Amino acid sequence: MNASWARQGITVAGSDGHGNDADQLDNPLGLFVDGDQMIFIAEQWNHRILQWKLGDTNGRIAAGGHGKGKRLNQLDQPTDVLIDKETDNLIICDQGNHRVVRWSRRSLTTKGEILLDDINCYGLALDDHRCLYISDEIKHEVRRYHIGNKNGTIVAGGHGEGDGLNQLNQPSYLFVDRQQAVYVSDTNNHRVMKWNKGAKEVILNISVNAQWAQKGSTVAGGYGNGRATNQLNTPMGLCIDEDQTMVIADFWNHRIVQWKLGDKDGLILADGRHKGNRSDRLYWPTNVLIEKESDSLIICDPGNQRVLRWSRLTFPAQRESLVENINCWGLALDDQGYLYISDEIKHEVRRYHIGNKNGTIVAGGHGEGDGLNQLNRPRYLFVDRQQAVYVSDTDNHRVMKWNKNAKEGIIIYSK
């Protein structure tokens, strides 16, 4: 209840604005953290992968770093990176060179190895069976590869650019669950698609030639922006419950919408009529999460400067204001049920015992600024199992980390 956090951070990645020095970043995109909390960053405009150890002031080039180019010791606008734990290799989406490359993490490595070429890759994912998934934003498809095999299997899209249920339009980021279902951020269709692995295949014994269903199901939206129950308008925060039901903060529609797999229309859980400050209305919701213990939604309602809790057990929903007079943007819950809220005007993050109006500052709280004890419009949050708080420090172009009980926090990366 009386836990306290350090108010100052230390730079882990980046420091003095964007640049190409060892302590700088320039347009960081994909990010991966290994089990030792080593951070790997795909730097698009520096054409390199940098790694930082906690406590180091400079990063170390893990791949690239020889300027923009197509030689095996170079990268061209990398967009994503991950680690193949079994071989301790980096797998890199080398977008400008239309290839996916593999670099060993051994200190003597000076060049990479081409895994795949002639692919307009953007996002990467590995499943529990070490199969590699790659999104191709020009062919509008996602393929699954057995590492070492040049021939992939289409698992999403593959029918040209479009908004049909068997199509994608510039797919970017990916996620693969334990059932080998593939979630795709279908960027230009403003929707998230899910492809289940074909029901006739055995999930626990996947062969290289396993087949996936060639049509996805629209989980949310896909009919342009609008207010109809099959539409969204600038979806923001999103969470998925254990039943794989998706709950979305529909920003310009001032509502929270839920989609169950297989449904063509969403169910409006909160508001959906007009913006307003009544207890049954929302105003620009930016984030939503599910409190499992009470089966309630916790909603960031920044237009009304409040955080609300709406029950999912009653209709009409039982509503209560958890925190008021807060310019909230991001939300997170830790394993102990504590609520974390970012305030982008007070430039701080607070931790609340739900039901208590007085929170404890865990990040920022020293006014707007770029000091190690400051934030500038913090937004998205993540809290790990050690109660370390990660903050997207928007106008400082960096991600900060505050360890619980530490005297200083950490900058994960900085632009």
CA distances to 46, 79, 96, 355 from 18, in Å: 10, 17, 20, 42
Q: Please check the confidence at residue 312 and state whether its pLDDT lies above 60.
A: yes
- Domain holding 99: CATH number? 2.120.10.30
8 touches 370 (CB < 8 A): no
Residues 248 and 171 in one domain: no
The per-residue pLDDT for 24 is 65
pLDDT at residue 308, as a whole number:
87
Q: 331 is in which domain, residue-wise?
A: 235-414
Q: What is the mean pLDDT of residues 85-101?
A: 91
pLDDT for the residue numbered 136: 93
Residue 231 has what pLDDT? 74
Domain count within the chain: 2
**Residue 111, domain member (yes or no):** yes
Q: Are residues 260 and 166 in the same domain?
A: no
Q: pLDDT by residue (tens digit) across 332-370?
A: 999 888 999 999 999 999 999 888 888 989 998 889 988
Residues 298 and 380 in one domain: yes
> Does any domain span residue 201?
no
213 lies in a domain? no
Q: Average model confidence (pLDDT) for the chain?
A: 81
Residue 223 lies in a domain: no
Q: Which pTM value belongs to this model?
A: 0.48
Domain assignment present for residue 316? The answer is: yes
Tell me, what DSSP letter sits at residue 251? G
pLDDT band at 3 (very low <50, low <70, confident <90, very high): low
- Tell me the per-residue pLDDT of 254-284, one tens digit each, with 9 for 90 and over: 888 887 777 777 778 776 566 666 767 788 8
Q: Is residue 210 part of a domain?
A: no
Q: Distance (Å, rounded) from C-alpha 379 to C-alpha 394?
A: 7
Percentage of the chain exceeding pLDDT 90? 17
Both tokens of residue 356? 């208590």
Q: Could you tell me which of 271, 274, 245 has the C-alpha nearest to residue 258?
A: 245
- Higher pLDDT: 208 or 236? It is 236
Residue 396 sits in the same domain as residue 276: yes
Confidence of residue 1 (pLDDT cuts 50, 70, 90): very low
Collapsing DSSP to helix, strand or coil, 287 comes out as: strand
User: Who's near 247: CB < 8 A, 6+ residues apart?
Assistant: 238, 239, 240, 241, 256, 257, 258, 269, 288, 290, 297
DSSP 8-state assignment for residue 20: S
For residues 263 and 334, state if they share a domain: yes
Residue that wins the pLDDT comparison between 213 and 306: 306
Mark whether 252 and 176 lie in a shared domain: no
Residue 206 has pLDDT above 60, yes or no: no
Question: Do 171 and 247 share a structural domain?
Answer: no
> Token pair of 280, please?
């049954």
State what percent of residues in the chain have pLDDT above 70: 83
CB burial of 187-205 (b: ≥16 within 10 Å; e: otherwise) equals bebbbbbbbbbeeeeeeee
Q: What is the mean pLDDT of residues 156-162?
A: 90
Res 201: pLDDT:
26
* Strand segments (E) across 26-98: 28-33, 39-43, 48-52, 60-64, 78-84, 89-94
What's the pLDDT score for residue 407? 61
Residue finishing a domain among 144, 170, 195? 195
Domain shared by 281 and 175, yes or no: no
Tell me: do 284 and 336 sit in the same domain.
yes
Strands 408-414 and 8-11: parallel
Tokens (6 digits) for 375:
């934030």
